[in-house]
Structure 1
């Protein structure tokens, strides 16, 4: 079996790549740099230098027959200054992946979207929830919603057999840029406070396993929500602080303060052209209460939820092994 993988050098993509290799699947990985390609080649992966924004590189990556495409690459920026770049990556890039897979005769596409495609809703999300992300003021939500819509339209038209995964907040070993920043700030005593929202925290290893299960499953044209342990951000921060032996806030910051502070930073960034440390979009996410029902994925993909203390412990241990945490 051979598959093509986008986003192979990312957090989730790296775990998916490792699980594919453990099952003796041959992999062609689309990567942006020669250095990344060299690292993957050394591990037995066939790299192609390019981008999902470049149809020619996608054609090259699919020149050898593939049984499936795993589309994991995405732009997760929460800053308005990256709107054009993000739209090219998430929307146009996904369209390019669909067209390249169709032209190469690849029947199966596993598309990793996000719960953000549903927008921010008050009710517990299920696969039957309305897709509100397309009308969101947050470009990440909007572009993820449009991209998955194009994937499902291609499936409905018989152009490709697609499965869409919608993971929630992803934690776990291997993270260096996403939620890992919170771990490092807590470790360094620099976290200014806890936001008032809550989230569903998915184990990256289980999300990768669900992607493999979705590939092997005959049915297509479906979506699967991949949630996880539900906790407030305050509870997450306190769990991290306990694991690290650091102090943590006793209560969350007011949402009104965070929103006002983010608007000030946003105004400054419009003058400087520099990305601020906190954006109105990011504040909107962390002030929202996200609840996700993963029962369909549990039943049909064998998806599993990792308890939050275990997930935090494993992440801290990995960060410590990488030398990214301060000495105990």
Structure 2
């Protein structure tokens, strides 16, 4: 079976690639630019862009399966339209090209970012309703609209498309890093002196990759499955990282509202420079108003999904960041 994988140069995509390799599949990778790190005898490299439909049509030819993991994952962007083109328009073009080429099975990587929150505070599941107006920031809006488009395509074609919604993956290989990886790295290096009162669902990136394969094997077309781990407060996450590094845990809890002027200034500074990432963004503060807790019960029941303790995910991430070359 020939499988097309997008996003293999990214954090989650590279983990999915490791998992697919274990199945001895015929793997084709869609990349935007050449990557010496991904050149190997057991994969075929092809080049294209989610903004170039012709390149996508060529990439899917001869494939029976597609794992669409690629996405522009940034919590702040100077040009939201570019993110929409990649995450929404690119996803539509890729899936339409795949179905036209006869691809038989598709796993689409969405995000828990598209889910709503329950008024009683219990962890969100796949039925936690939300609208696009509830989405904070360009990334969440783009992933919400992309998942809606995937559902529409699945219904129109009665296609074998399964959606997975990873929570907050951490672990080795977060090269860029992702926004969460940046937080783990900075905490491991003692660069996080304070925190806000929020919470995250922490999952090992390799468990997310395993969940992708389980969804491919067992997922029901048109359904979505949360691939998550342990629900932890941010204070607890930072305390665990401190325990792994021997550094003191941050004790200063800051009110979110007090950080908004800093966020506005940081975004303005990055815009003026034309490069870089704000140390904190307005959207991050708005999102922190909710504890982002989720349940993977559906994936556990239907896919056989399991996750290791968050401590293992954080340990592997911290170890990798402390050994990685400085960036």
What is the TM-score when the length of structure 1 is the normalising length? Answer: 0.91
CA–CA distance in structure 1, aligned partners of residues 226 and 247 of structure 2: 33
Report the CA distance between 1:149 and its aligned residue.
0.8
1:316/1:272 CA distance change after superposition, 3 Å: closer
- Structure 2 residue aligned with 1:108, among 93, 105, 110? 105
CA–CA distance in structure 2, aligned partners of residues 279 and 308 of structure 1: 26
In the alignment of these two chains, the number of paired residues is 322
- Structure 2 residue aligned with 1:319, among 309, 318, 321? 321
Does 1:85 pair with 2:85?
no
What is the TM-score when the length of structure 2 is the normalising length? Answer: 0.91
Report the CA distance between 1:263 and its aligned residue.
2.4
Does 1:19 pair with 2:16?
no
Gaps of 5+ in 2: none
8 Å CA contact retained: 1:119, 1:133: no
> 1:225 is matched with which residue?
226
8 Å CA contact retained: 2:194, 2:251: no
CA–CA distance in structure 1, aligned partners of residues 32 and 295 of structure 2: 35
- Structure 1 residue aligned with 2:53, among 52, 55, 61? 55
8 Å CA contact retained: 1:134, 1:143: no
1:124-181 deviations in whole A, cap 9, x for unaligned? 2111111334542411111111101111111111252111111111111212302332
For residue 194 of structure 2, give the secondary structure of its aligned residue in structure 1.
coil
8 Å CA contact retained: 1:12, 1:72: yes
CA–CA distance in structure 2, aligned partners of residues 319 and 272 of structure 1: 27
8 Å CA contact retained: 2:116, 2:124: no
Does 1:117 pair with 2:111?
no
* Larger CA deviation: 44-53 vs 270-279: 270-279
- Structure 2 residue aligned with 1:297, among 296, 299, 303? 299
Does 1:169 pair with 2:174?
no
1:4/1:39 CA distance change after superposition, 3 Å: same
CA–CA distance in structure 1, aligned partners of residues 173 and 274 of structure 2: 31
Does 1:239 pair with 2:240?
yes
CA–CA distance in structure 1, aligned partners of residues 219 and 286 of structure 2: 38
Report the CA distance between 1:227 and its aligned residue.
2.0
CA RMSD of aligned residues (A): 2.1
